[in-house]
Structure 1
Amino acid sequence: MTSIRPENPATTPSAGPPWLVLALACACQFMVVLDVSIVNVALPSVQRDLGFTDTGLAWVVNGYVLTFAGFMLLGGRAADLFGHRRMLVAGLGLFSLASLAAGLAHTPELLVGARVAQGLGGAMLAPATLAVINIRFPEGKERARAFGAWSSAGGVGGMVGAVAGGVLTSGLSWRWVFLINVPIGIVLLLVATSLTAAPALRRESLDLLGAITGTAGLASLIYGVMQTANHAWGSPRVMPPILAGVVLLAVFLVVEKRVAAPMMPLRLFRNRTVAVSNAMLLLFGGIAIAMWFFSSLFMQNVLQYSALDAGLGQTPAAVVFVVVARFATGRLLQSGARVLIVTGCACFVAGFAWLSQADADSHYAASVLGPTLLVAIGIGLVFPTLMASATADVSPGDAGIVGGLANTASQVGGSIALAVYATAAATRAAANHSASAPLDALASGYALVFGIAAGVALTIAAVSPLLPTRRRNRPTTPHDAHRPPTILD
């Protein structure tokens, strides 16, 4: 089967200044990540107004996350095939329309369907924003700083979600949690359509079988992992979709090896930088979930904060993350990726070890603020570095799929970690349950999660020496002494 593919994206003319291109990419990433968390505070109001069951209500969140993570690879390759600007515009349009439909929904089915469409729009947007940065900014200092800004936008989007959700729900209505995206999306659409000229098109084969097996495999795997929130790992609701996902992904790899124009070219993994960086991003998903999700649960369930107060409690960490991420990308070319990653992992270990000592009698300033700031420093050092490494040294024609792969690794790692951590926390809390001290039992479960996260950080640090010190495809010549430094030097 054939499809339309743009000419070399690197030759696509730009009609806007670099800062505006970066602002657009960051705004899109902010909006996509924001919608993962902004809904949580509004869920009780949604349930009351639309009559959701407890099981159905979970799909207001899961429907978005499932399609967002499951379709990321397909979105990345589609950006390469049809053009990064076209996919950015299409993703913005779908995301905005789905947000409008969600805000106006009057039945549970309509709201869940709109959230699924939002997730699909997000899966089109996220890889395209990475690809735009990779192509628009030359490798070196400019691209490193652009990745820092992009990473910060996503991190802030996740943090602002809880606060914005509470403000919009209490001040206006839960519907504005979705409707707020519509005017923002329209402005971004206008900017996106004016920034870059559409590239010339040519015909090229489309890996339809790979698209089906890869997307279905990821979606099935993530769906099965999600079911562990309410069912045991060996349950018929958990294992069949997980096994089906593994089988489909195995078929996907076989297909990608044999077709002439694969959706995800396996040659990408011959680039050690891409392979190792994605492996670390898979592990990093466990760090992000432990920090942003489980520290919030600790504040709500153990310290008895409201969801809004917990979001505000994480705000200092979000600010530190943004500042450190910008600093890290400025240092990336001087220090190299390994130094920043190992330093960040040291912050993870120290922060999570400190956080694991907190209990029901702890105070925010002494037992939560300090360790979360430490972990936020680590995230600011590690996340933009890994994203820059995972997308470095690839051809412009693969920028979309490489961006989709990096996003998928982080999302899948986070989904798996969430399921594993939740099971570990519940098991430990049940073992330590006491009618006289139920909050201490919960705290012991979260302490185990933070301890596991520290172990994950040590694993990332142990893997980091596998990153090459120079770009794999550049031969060593006398001219190397005068070449611009890369992020891996």
Structure 2
Amino acid sequence: MNSMVQLVIANRSDTLKYRWWALIALALAQFLVVLDASIVNIALPALGSELHLSTSTLSWVITAYVLPFGGLLLLGGRLSDRFGHRRLFMIGVSGFALASAAAGLATSGVWLLTARAVQGASAALLAPAALALVTKLFTNPRDRAKALGIWGAVAGIGSAAGVLLGGVLTDSLGWSSVFFVNVPVVALVLVAVPYLIPKEAHVERVSLDASGSATVTTGIVALVAALSGTDRVGWTSPQTLILASLAVVLLGSFIFIEKRASNPLMPLGIFRNKSVTGGNLAMFLIGGATTGLFFALSVYMQQVLHYDALKAGLTQLPLAGSLVVIAGVVPAVVKAIGTRKTLAASLFLLAVGLIWLSFSPSNASFAVNLLGPSILMGIGLGGAFISGTELAVHGVADDEAGLASGLVNTSQQIGGAIGLAVLTTVASARIDRLLGGGVAEAQALTGGFSWVFLGAAAFALIGAIAVLVVVRQSPSFKVSD
């Protein structure tokens, strides 16, 4: 009897061990997905010079990744529910590796932009499938809280690490290295996952909602395209208005279709789960605050404080370090006060850090003016990413885990696009007014960026209030209508 008990305990320990190793493999893939949205920024001047790309074309190196990523996330999540989370994850990772290698080998702008688009589409397959696998592997509330803590920390660190790694790699190995760095990591993931995660025993094979898929994907792409172009053509240009109008029509049609579809791409009943609704609203606002923060902070350090790319990247270490430390603390905080209060408190801390940062002068000292806000923002971001992700997937059935995961990623990406568009427009208007009033360029830029930081703080505060208002309880049920 004792030997049998020992055997059961040993088998259980092996299972737990492999689950945590599986989490590491999945988190590595997610890290690269988040990283690739920011790591290219510092490499843009170098690759633009070598490939003879104009300034306007360079912006499409970012947009070509964001458009398919944001537009296909919801479809990617539902495909993983229909055909298997592990299968779609492996397909997405394989496509991401091939596209990364192709981007690093690019000899023309068309080649590079095509590779970036495939990268984004592949990321839209692997990201929701990866998070769905995490929620299936960790069903125990305590273990799931730890796993999602690591997951949220990885997402936050990936955003902060992009600037750091982009500067180091571009400076030492050239612009192509920011793409090639993905290949060996992805190869490791491709080898490890089949051994660590078993195939799904049964996957329900039902017809996909083709009309819903077409309208929501095209609608999200049109919305992201409209918002991404506002910094170049403005909010009232024909391009922005036409794309925005198209997005409204398509997304409205999507809701109409989903109410009547027998097998909807997105069962609207999922939003009866207030945790899903509140979590996605929070991730939308976190995306807006984070994207605006890292954009403005990077430009402020390089154009106002005159840091080189490497130094600007290294200054992100305190923020990233805070994220790593908080990842180990948040699960205990969630257990003590609940996910809802943890998320609201984290967003409040993020807002305080952003407001503190907005007072930084044009001759700021990193130790005096930037270090404190960076640490506080790291704590707030780490807590918000972790608890926001956990809230958004709470109470979702296994066969809708991909849908819930796709929603989380979609909310963050669309929030980032809207936040960046709004905040950069506000900053540009502020800078132009200050320059027109005879203010020196450094002071004018500082004034504009301070408004970006304050706007990002407003997003965080709205998110904190919204979570407390929307999420009253955490229901746990399957939504099938």
Q: 1:412 and 1:203 mapped to 2: Cα distance?
A: 30
- Is residue 228–residue 419 contact of structure 1 (8 Å, CA) maintained in 2? yes
Q: Which residue number in structure 2 is paired with residue 207 of structure 1?
A: 209
Matches within 5 A, 1:41-190: 41-190=42-191
Q: Which residue number in structure 2 is paired with residue 229 of structure 1?
A: 231
- Is residue 160–residue 319 contact of structure 2 (8 Å, CA) maintained in 1? no
- Is residue 98–residue 115 contact of structure 1 (8 Å, CA) maintained in 2? yes
Q: Report the secondary structure of 2:174's partner residue.
A: coil
Q: Which stretch of structure 1 is more off in the superposition, 208-217 or 347-356?
A: 347-356
Query: Which digits, 9 at most, give the CA deviation of each residue in 1:170-212, with x for residues without a partner?
Result: 2222112111211221111111222233233453121011111
Q: Which residue number in structure 1 is paired with residue 4 of structure 2?
A: none
Matches within 5 A, 1:63-462: 63-199=64-200, 200-433=202-435, 437-462=440-465
Query: Which digits, 9 at most, give the CA deviation of each residue in 1:30-56, with x for residues without a partner?
Result: 111111111111111211211112222
Q: Report the secondary structure of 2:175's partner residue.
A: coil
- Is residue 16–residue 195 contact of structure 1 (8 Å, CA) maintained in 2? no
Q: 1:440 and 1:196 mapped to 2: Cα distance?
A: 54
> What's the % identity of the aligned pairs?
38
Count, aligned residues: 461
Q: Which stretch of structure 1 is more off in the superposition, 14-23 or 207-216?
A: 14-23
Q: Which residue number in structure 2 is paired with residue 478 of structure 1?
A: none
- Is residue 274–residue 472 contact of structure 2 (8 Å, CA) maintained in 1? no
Q: From the superposition, tell whether residues 159 and 461 of structure 1 become closer, same or farther in structure 2 (CA, over 3 Å).
A: closer
Q: From the superposition, tell whether residues 334 and 436 of structure 1 become closer, same or farther in structure 2 (CA, over 3 Å).
A: closer
Q: Which residue number in structure 2 is paired with residue 35 of structure 1?
A: 36
Q: From the superposition, tell whether residues 335 and 169 of structure 1 become closer, same or farther in structure 2 (CA, over 3 Å).
A: same
Q: From the superposition, tell whether residues 202 and 463 of structure 1 become closer, same or farther in structure 2 (CA, over 3 Å).
A: closer
Q: From the superposition, tell whether residues 469 and 305 of structure 1 become closer, same or farther in structure 2 (CA, over 3 Å).
A: same
Q: 2:16 and 2:336 mapped to 1: Cα distance?
A: 32
Q: Which stretch of structure 1 is more off in the superposition, 362-371 or 75-84?
A: 362-371
Q: Report the secondary structure of 1:471's partner residue.
A: coil
Q: 1:423 and 1:186 mapped to 2: Cα distance?
A: 40
Amino acid at match of 2:344: V
The structural deviation recorded for 1:218 is: 0.4
The structural deviation recorded for 1:461 is: 2.0
Amino acid at match of 2:141: G
- Is residue 213–residue 248 contact of structure 1 (8 Å, CA) maintained in 2? yes
Q: From the superposition, tell whether residues 361 and 399 of structure 1 become closer, same or farther in structure 2 (CA, over 3 Å).
A: same
- Is residue 15–residue 197 contact of structure 1 (8 Å, CA) maintained in 2? no
TM-score by length of 1: 0.91
Q: Report the secondary structure of 1:205's partner residue.
A: coil
Q: 1:367 and 1:345 mapped to 2: Cα distance?
A: 21
The structural deviation recorded for 1:468 is: 4.0
The structural deviation recorded for 1:325 is: 2.7
Q: Which has the higher helix share?
A: 2
Q: 1:454 and 1:196 mapped to 2: Cα distance?
A: 40
Q: Report the secondary structure of 1:52's partner residue.
A: coil
Q: 1:260 and 1:323 mapped to 2: Cα distance?
A: 46
- Is residue 73–residue 408 contact of structure 1 (8 Å, CA) maintained in 2? yes
Give RMSD over aligned pairs. 1.7
